[in-house]
Amino acid sequence: MSNEGKGFLKELEKEIRKIFKKIEKTPFAISLGPILRNPNTEEVIVSIFNGDKHTQKITVSVADTTNCIPVEFQKEAYLCGKLITPPLPPFTIQNTKPQFNLQQNSENTPLTVGIPPSQLLIVHARATPPPPMVTNATYNVLVFTPTRNITISSAGVNQQGEPQEGNTVTMNQTEIARTILLDSFIGEIEF
């Protein structure tokens, strides 16, 4: 092989190493859905355990995916048993359906939290009312994490906290994939 060919291969190897370093920093996306929503599901409880020896920054999205535009559920989160977000509004006694305030962005956006090693984060996501006449309402639980040492489960529950049939998912029922945005690599490798 000529010196020119060897030089090209060394440059190519450097570029590939740069790409792999970027990929290593890309979080895993773990999806527990779409989940066909039981009509009695009023809250989704997501449990996330950090089995890593380092604090891990994760992002949790729980969204109604019935329509083309996902709508985030309101959320409250407990880290190590302590409430770390504003609480959700209570269920009213007169009306058994929860009260919704879709204008409170802090509760209707994906939640990002650092979970210490060997600790548990529990997220309560208040389900938005399904659109009228919808018989196939769905929601999705999506977690972005930098490591595979995170264990996730979710359960759809009614007002009494009872799990609803078909709305419980554990991590061993999911696929884990790195989210790779190929657009970010376009133009970075020159041949």
Burial class, 113, CB count within 10 angstroms (exposed 0-12 / middle 13-18 / buried 19+): middle
Global confidence as pTM: 0.70
Residue 101 CB: number of other CB atoms within 10 A? Answer: 11
Q: What's the average model confidence in pLDDT over 140-146?
A: 89
- Residues 159, 42: contact at Cβ < 8 Å? yes
Residue 181 CB: number of other CB atoms within 10 A? Answer: 9
Instruction: Show me where the domains of the chain are located.
Output: 27-178
Band of pLDDT at residue 62, cut at 50, 70 and 90? very high
- Residues 76, 123: contact at Cβ < 8 Å? yes
pLDDT at 137: 84
Instruction: Give how far the C-alpha of residue 19 lies from the chain's centroid of Cα atoms, to the nearest Å.
Output: 25
Band of pLDDT at residue 46, cut at 50, 70 and 90? very high
Q: Which helix (H) or strand (E) holds 21?
A: helix 3-24
Instruction: Provide the percentage of residues in the chain whose pLDDT is more than 70.
Output: 71
Residue 101 pLDDT greater than 80, yes or no = no
